[in-house]
Structure 1
Amino acid sequence: MVDYRAFFAEKISEIKGNGQYRTFIEIERLAGRFPTALHHHKDGPREITVWCSNDHLGMGQHPEVVAAMQRSIERSGVAAGGSRNISGTNHTHVLLEREIAELHGKEAGLTFITGYAVNDAVLGVLGKLLPGVVFFSDELNHASMILGMRATRAERRIFRHNDPSHLEELLSAADPDVPKVVAFESIYSMDGDIAPMPELCAVAKRHNALVYVDEAHSVGMYGPGGAGMAAQLGCADQVDLLMGTFAKGYGTAGGYLVGDAPIVDAVRSFAPAFIFTLAMPPALAAAALTSVRKLRESDNERILLHHRAQLVKSLFQEAGIPLVSTESHIVPVLVGDAHLCKELADRLLEDHLCYAQPINFPSVPRGTERLRINPSPVHSPAAVRHFVSAVDEVWDDLGLPRVPAPVTGSGTGTEPAPALRAGAR
C-alpha cells in the first residue's frame, strides 16, 4: 500500500538536502515608501529594504496608478464577474487593449490574467492551428514558452542561446514549405542578457518564419515610450507577435499579446488559456492602463532605473563580486553554491535588513546559483551603497571567491553558460 504522505515528505526532504527547497519571506510592501517593506520576522515585524522585486520602476505605488485602481473598484467592484466571453469584458479591457496595440504599433491587442497564460495560449494556438508547424526555440526560453510549445506536440528545434548563426543553420535545413515560428525573449530574466533581436529577426524573415518575442522584462523599461527592446533596437516591425506583461515595468499584474489582428483574434477564439479563465479584474486593468499611459509620457523613471542599475553593477565590479552579465537592468550576482547562496541571502536579511532572494535549480543550473538583484528608481544612491557594502561584508565572511575588477569599469564580470528557463510572468 502506498503511503502518500511519506512519499511526498521524502521528496521535500530530498530538495532540502540539496539546497533546492524554497522558503517564502513574508513581507508587506509599504505604499509610498517602497522599497521599504514590513518583514514579519519571528521576533516581530521590522522594516527591511527589498532588492528583488519585479516592480522595476516603482509604478506599483505611483499615486495615479493607485487612484485609478481605487476609482475602478468604487465603480465596478473587485472582479470582472466572469470570463471575457461570459459577462467579463469591461470597457477598461477594451481601452487597455487599444493602448498597448498603439504603443507597439500593432493592429490588435489582447489582455490576460497572467503573462504565463499569454505564452501558453499563443504558442498553443500556433502549434495546433498551423499545419505541420515547426517551432525554433532559444534554448533558454522561459518555462511558459517551453511548456506551451511542448503541449502542442509540434516539432520543436532548439537553437543555441542568442545565436543567429545556429538559427540560420536550423532554418536552412527545414522544409521551406512548412510553417515556422521563431520564439525567443528580448531580455532573459535570470542572466539579464539581451537577445541580438535584429539579427534573429532577419534570419527568421529570410525563411518566412513567424517571429514571436517575449518582452516581459523590457516593456515599460526600454524603447520609446516604454515600447520595449524591439522598439529600442529598431526591429519592432519584424516582430509579428509580441508578448508583454504588466507585472514588471508597469508595476501591476497580468499579461498581453499584440500583433496582426487575424492572429490575435485566432488566439481569442481558440486558446483555452484565454477562453476558460476569469477576465482580468477591471481595477487591475485600470491601474495597468494608467501605468502604460504614464510611462508613454515620461522617460524619468527609465532614466533613473538604468542609472541605479549601472551604479549597482559598477560597485559590485569594483569589489570583485562576480556578475553573470552586465547587459541590462537585471544584476545577477553569481554565488555558485545552493547552500552558500541561501546563507548569503539569510545573513543579508537577518543582519543588514536587505532582502535578496536566492535563485537556485531548476530556475538556474546547479553550480550557477545566484542572487538576482533588481535595482529601481525608488532605491536611492545611498541605499545602493549600503546594500553593496553589506553584500561585500557577508561575501568575505563566507569566504566566497572574487574576480579581478575590470579596468574600465564596463566589463562583463564572469559569463558562465547557464540554462535558465524560469521566473515569474
Structure 2
Amino acid sequence: MESLARQSKALCPFLHKTSTSTLKRLSSQATIASVARGCPIMGHAMEIQESKAPHSRSYSTVREVEISKEFIEIPVNKKTAGSATATATATSANKTPAFDDKQAPFNYEKLYESDLQRKHQDKSYRYFNNINRLAKKFPHAHRATESEEVAVWCSNDYLGMGSHPVVTEAMHSTIDKYGAGAGGTRNIAGHNLHALKLEASLADLHRKEAALVFTSCFVANDATLALLGKKFPNCVYFSDEMNHASMIEGIRHSGAEKVIWKHNDLADLEAKLAKYPKSQPKIIAFESVYSMSGNISPIEAICDLADKYGALTFLDEVHAVGMYGPRGAGVAEHLDFEYHDSNCNPENLVSTNTDGSARRDVMSRVDMITGTLGKAFGCMGGYVAGSKNFIDWIRSYAPGFIFTTSLPPAVMAGANAAIDYQKSSLKERILQQAHTAYVKRELGERGIPVVPNPSHIVPVLVGNAEKAKEASDMLLEKYGIYVQAINYPTVPIGHERLRITPTPGHNKELSDHLIKALDETFDTLGLDRIKDWEKKGGRCGVAQPGYDHIKPIWTPKQLKP
C-alpha cells in the first residue's frame, strides 16, 4: 500500500499533497475510505491492500457508520469522470466547497434513525434491563420495583467483592473523611495517598516495579497501546484476533502497523513475527482469559516467541485478576501457583528449564500487564503495571491519563481493600470454581451446549440473536433469573449465547434453579442442544472434535482449602 501510494503521488493531486502517514490515519475513517474507493488510484490501491490483508474480525469493533448516497453526494464532473486527476480533485480533502445558502443542512437525525433501524433489523439492538443489585442479598437484585427480586447470573463481580464488608467499610470511612470526588486530574487536584497506596498494592500484586491507575481498563488499554505505537519507530502490533475492543481501539489510535494472528495459534504468530527484522519494535497484544469464550491463552509460549523475535508482551488480565493464582494476580501467576503461594518460600523452590538452566516465572516475563478494579475486585477503574521507567513514561505522555479526572478516594480505598483481602484469601476463588464446575457438569448432562473452556465462564450457545433474547426474556420473566443475551458485535453472527458467571454466592439451591430453568427454556423455545449441534457439524467447540479433553486450569490440589 505504501509503495503504491508513493508511486502514485505524481499522478494524483490528493496524494501529492498528503503525507503517507496522514493517509494511513485517514484510511481508518469511514468517510475518507468511501471517498477513496471512488478514486481510480486510491481505490485500486485499497483493493490490493485488502486482498493481501489477513482475515480481520470485524465483529470485535464498533461498527463504522456507513455513509450512503442518501446522506452525502460527491460532485463529479461527468466529462472528466474517467480522469484520475479530475476525480481526485473533486474529492480532495484540501478543498472546501463554497457555502451555498440554498443547500439543505445534513440530516443528522436521519442517520441516527437509519443506523438504529439497521440494528433492529439484524436483531443486534441492545435492550437494557433495569437491574439494581442488593448489597445485603448478593447475588440478588430488584427490577424497577423492590418487590421484583431476581437472581443475577451474569455479573462480572465474580467474587462478590462489590458488597463485601471489607470493601464497603473502607469506602464508607473514606468518603466520610475525604468526600465524594477527586476534584480533578491528578496533575491538577493532586497525587493523593489513596492513589499511592493502590498503585503500590497493584505493583506488588503483579510483582512489578510500578503501576498506574486509570478510570477504566478500556482507557488504560487505549491510552497505553496508542502511546506505544506512536512513540516506537516503525512499531508493529501482533494482535490476537479475539482481542477486546479496547485493545483494538488503542492499536488503531496509535497509527502503527497491525498484524492479526489467529486466536491462540502459536504457529501463525511465529510465522508472522518471522517476517520482520528482530531490531524492529514489536508488541504482542493478547488476553489471558477471553471473556466471551472462556479460553485461556498460552502465555509462557507467547513469551518464548517474544524473546526469540525481540518483541514486548502486552497482557490483558481483566477477566483473570482476583480469579487465578494464590494471590489473585491472574493466569500468569497461576501458571507458577506453588512458586507464588504465600505459604511457600520461593527461595526453597527449584525452578529450572528442561535443559537444567534457571527458569524465570511466567509473570515476571510479561512486560506489561493491564487489569481492572471493576470485576473480581468489585469496584471500578483500571491499571497498567510494568517497569518503573515504563510507568513513569505512560504517566508523563499518555493523554488518556493526563487529562482524565482521577478516581474518587473512596473508590480507590475500596479497591485497595479488595486487593489486599484477595492476596491472602483463597476462599472465594475456590468456592467460585466449585460452583462453576457444578453448573457446567449439570448442564452438560442435560445436553445444554456449553462452549468448552478451562476458565470460570459458562457460555451457553444459542446461535441466533432473536432466540437468545427470547431465552433471556423468558428466564427473567418466568423464572426470576437475569442472564443477558450476548450478540453481535461482541460475538460473531451465529455465535450468540447466554454468558453465565457463577459466584461464591450461587449455592446449590440457586444453581439447581438455574439448571432447571435453562432446561425448560431450551424445550419451550426449541433451542439446539448438543446432539443438534453435532448434526450441524458443531460450533464454538460444541460437538466438535478435540474439545472434549479441556480441563479446568485449577487443579484438584489447588482447590483444596
Q: For this structure pair, what is the TM-score category when the shorter chain's length is used for normalisation?
A: over 0.9
Distance in 2 (alpha carbons) for counterparts of 1:387 and 1:276: 45
| Residue number among 208, 226, 245 corresponding to 1:106 in the alignment | 208
Q: What is the Cα deviation at residue 398 of structure 1?
A: 0.6
Match of 1:135 in 2: 237
1:356 aligns with 2:460: no
Distance in 2 (alpha carbons) for counterparts of 1:89 and 1:117: 19
Check conservation: 2:439, 2:511, Cα contact below 8 A: yes
Distance in 2 (alpha carbons) for counterparts of 1:415 and 1:238: 34
| Residue number among 442, 466, 476 corresponding to 1:315 in the alignment | 442
1:346 aligns with 2:473: yes
Check conservation: 2:217, 2:383, Cα contact below 8 A: yes
| Residue number among 24, 27, 51 corresponding to 2:128 in the alignment | 24
| CA deviation map 1:223-263 (0-9, x unaligned) | 12101100111310110000010111101110011101111
Distance in 1 (alpha carbons) for counterparts of 2:334 and 2:544: 24
Distance in 2 (alpha carbons) for counterparts of 1:307 and 1:88: 44
1:400 aligns with 2:400: no
Check conservation: 2:299, 2:332, Cα contact below 8 A: yes
Match of 2:405 in 1: 278
Q: What is the Cα deviation at residue 324 of structure 1?
A: 1.8
Larger C-alpha radius of gyration, 1 or 2?
Answer: 2
Check conservation: 1:323, 1:414, Cα contact below 8 A: no
Give aligned pairs, total: 408
| Residue number among 380, 385, 388 corresponding to 1:258 in the alignment | 385
1:70-149 matches, within 5 Å, as: 70-149=172-251
Distance in 1 (alpha carbons) for counterparts of 2:330 and 2:176: 33
Check conservation: 1:250, 1:288, Cα contact below 8 A: yes
| CA deviation map 1:403-423 (0-9, x unaligned) | 159xxxxxx64469xxxxxxx
| CA deviation map 1:348-380 (0-9, x unaligned) | 000000000000000000000001101100111
Q: Which SS does the other structure have where 1:288 is aligned? A: helix
Check conservation: 2:531, 2:543, Cα contact below 8 A: no
Match of 1:329 in 2: 456
1:386 aligns with 2:488: no
Q: What is the Cα deviation at residue 6 of structure 1?
A: 3.2
Q: Which amino acid aligns with 2:503?
A: S
Q: Which SS does the other structure have where 1:264 is aligned? A: helix
Check conservation: 1:89, 1:279, Cα contact below 8 A: no
Structure 2: runs of 5+ lacking an equivalent: 1-103, 337-361, 533-540, 546-561
After TM superposition, where is structure 1 displaced by more than 6 Å over at least 4 residues in a row? none
Check conservation: 1:324, 1:415, Cα contact below 8 A: no
Q: Which SS does the other structure have where 1:345 is aligned? A: helix
Check conservation: 1:317, 1:413, Cα contact below 8 A: no
Q: Which SS does the other structure have where 2:151 is aligned? A: strand
Check conservation: 1:313, 1:326, Cα contact below 8 A: no
Match of 1:233 in 2: 335
1:156-305 matches, within 5 Å, as: 156-234=258-336, 235-305=362-432
| CA deviation map 1:287-322 (0-9, x unaligned) | 000000000010000000101111111111111111
Q: Which amino acid aligns with 2:381?
A: G
Q: Which amino acid aligns with 1:36?
A: H
Q: Which SS does the other structure have where 1:336 is aligned? A: coil
Match of 1:5 in 2: 109
Q: Structure 1 pair 206/34, CA: closer, same or farther in 2 (3 Å)?
A: same
Q: Which amino acid aligns with 1:98?
A: A
Q: Which SS does the other structure have where 1:173 is aligned? A: coil
Q: TM-score, normalization: structure 2?
A: 0.71
More RCO (CA 8 Å, sep 6+): 1
Match of 1:35 in 2: 139
Distance in 1 (alpha carbons) for counterparts of 2:204 and 2:235: 29
Q: TM-score, normalization: structure 1?
A: 0.94
Q: What is the Cα deviation at residue 124 of structure 1?
A: 1.2
Distance in 2 (alpha carbons) for counterparts of 1:314 and 1:170: 39
The percentage of aligned residue pairs carrying the same residue is 45
Q: What is the Cα deviation at residue 3 of structure 1?
A: 3.5
| CA deviation map 1:334-361 (0-9, x unaligned) | 0000000000000000000000000000
Q: Which amino acid aligns with 1:279?
A: S
Check conservation: 1:308, 1:376, Cα contact below 8 A: yes
Check conservation: 1:308, 1:377, Cα contact below 8 A: yes
Structure 1: runs of 5+ lacking an equivalent: 406-411, 417-425
Q: Which amino acid aligns with 1:14?
A: R
Q: Which amino acid aligns with 2:141?
A: A
Q: What is the Cα deviation at residue 112 of structure 1?
A: 0.7
Distance in 2 (alpha carbons) for counterparts of 1:320 and 1:150: 41
1:58 aligns with 2:160: yes
Distance in 2 (alpha carbons) for counterparts of 1:355 and 1:170: 43
Match of 1:377 in 2: 504
